[in-house]
Amino acid sequence: MGATTGRWLCAEEPSMDYHEALELQRALVDAKTTARLSRDVLMLLEHPPVFTLGRRGSHEHLLVAKDYIRLQLTGERATDGDTGQVGPGIASFLDVPLGAYVSKIIDLTDREVTVERLLEEGYETVRLCLPALLTVVKEISYPRLPTLRGKQRARQADIPLWSAESLHVPKENLGLKGSPTRVERIFSPRVTREGTRITVRDEQDGERAVQELISFIRKRNLLQ
């Protein structure tokens, strides 16, 4: 719904997601700065409650308990050791469920999240209780083309640099040398379909098949 009042436009929008509202405002700002929109715009809208941090913000500025953060996202892997252990390590440290190689978030409620995981042979749908941590692959989203205004803001952005000294962490515990994991060899495991087939024609064959199955289970300690 929109109303024109002289030189400016009042737009009343329904409730929408925070990121959707933010992108809408950015699009209006870009249209205004590039002279594609002549009037000023007043937007009236609301979105679900969110926590926002400035460019210099950190988790220390969030005055809430850690368990209040219900869902955390990390990348697939870091670029130093390339072992994919950062996300699982954080999940283990926080003692929360882990969803790895997530390509799509299907549903999110107050209690659980349903995701689609990328596997070698296809996709897998998994439901996790919250709080949880997800490591995501590139299919999770598609980068938007930057606007001229966005490029200008990026050039002027103040990006903080954290050193080992500022984090009070020994240098030997950082980077590839400090990684607790090592990639010794990368290979594709051989998948075989070999097995033993027993043809049962009568009761005697059935008893023999049962005994061989029990022997197979015991040799591999599959039953405790």
Domain count, the chain: 2
Q: Are residues 35 and 66 in the same domain?
A: no
In a domain, 150, yes or no: no
For residue 136, being part of any structural domain is answered with yes
What value does the mean pLDDT take over residues 25-37?
A: 83
User: Is position 192 within any domain?
Assistant: no
Q: Which amino acid, residue 37?
A: L
Buried b (16+ CB within 10 A) or exposed e, 174-206: eeeeebeeeeeeeeeeeeeeeeeeeeeeeeeee
For residue 211, tell me if it sits in a domain. Answer: no
Q: Identify the residue with better confidence: 117 or 184.
A: 117
Query: Residue 89 has which token pair?
Result: 């390590």
Rounded to two decimals, what is the model's pTM? Answer: 0.48
Burial label, 82 (beta-carbon count in 10 A; 0-12, 13-18, 19+): middle
User: Are both 103 and 19 inside the same structural domain?
Assistant: no
Whether 88 and 174 map to the same domain: the answer is: yes
Asked whether residue 97 is assigned to any structural domain, the reply reads yes
| Strand ranges in 30-174 using DSSP code E only, listed in sequence order | 40-44, 71-74, 98-108, 112-119, 122-129, 132-136
Residue 169 has pLDDT above 80, yes or no: yes
In a domain, residue 202? The reply is no
One-letter amino acid of 89: G
Q: What's the alpha-carbon Rg for the chain, to the nearest Å?
A: 27
Q: In Å, how far are 27, 33, 41, 138 from 38, measured between CA atoms?
A: 14, 9, 9, 38
Say whether both 40 and 78 belong to one domain. Answer: no
What are phi and psi for residue 97, nearest 5 degrees? -60, 150
Q: Give domain status of residue 65, yes or no.
A: yes
Please indicate, yes or no, whether residues 35 and 86 belong to a single structural domain of this protein: no
- Pick from 82-86, 115-119, 164-168, 185-189: least confident: 82-86
Residues near 113 by beta carbon (within 8 Å), at least 6 away in sequence: 71, 99, 105, 107, 127, 128, 130, 132, 134
Q: Are residues 136 and 79 in the same domain?
A: yes
In which band, very low, low, confident or very high, does the pLDDT at 151 lie, cut at 50, 70 and 90? confident
Query: pLDDT band at residue 178, thresholds of 50, 70 and 90?
Result: confident
Q: What mean pLDDT is predicted for residues 51-73?
A: 67
Task: Check residues 198 and 77 and name the one with the higher pLDDT.
Answer: 198
CATH number for the domain spanning 86: value is: 3.40.50.620
Residues 109 and 165 in one domain: yes
* Same domain assignment for residues 71 and 112: yes
Assess whether 64 and 13 both reside in one domain: no
Rounded Cα distance, 152 and 158, in Å: 12
Average pLDDT over residues 18-29: 82
pLDDT reading at 200 higher than 90: no
Residue range 145-150: mean pLDDT, rounded:
82
The Cα–Cα gap between 221 and 224 comes to 7
CB of 206 closer than 8 Å to CB of 200: yes
User: Is pLDDT at 199 greater than 90 in this prediction?
Assistant: no
Shared domain check, 64 and 135: yes
Range of the domain at 124: 59-140+161-178
Question: Does the pLDDT value for residue 136 go beyond 70?
Answer: yes
Q: What is the token pair recorded at 124? A: 């897998």
63 pLDDT tier (thresholds 50, 70, 90): low
Q: What is the pLDDT of residues 79-127, one digit of tens each?
A: 555 666 788 888 888 888 999 999 999 998 888 999 999 988 889 999 9
Q: Find the range with the poorest average confidence among 1-5, 183-187, 198-202.
A: 1-5
pLDDT computed for residue 1 by the predictor: 47
Q: Is 13 exposed, middle or buried (0-12, 13-18, 19+ CB in 10 A)?
A: middle
Per-residue confidence (pLDDT) for residue 15, from 0 to 100: 80
- Within a domain: residue 214? no
38 shares a domain with 14: yes
Is 34 in the same domain as 83? Answer: no
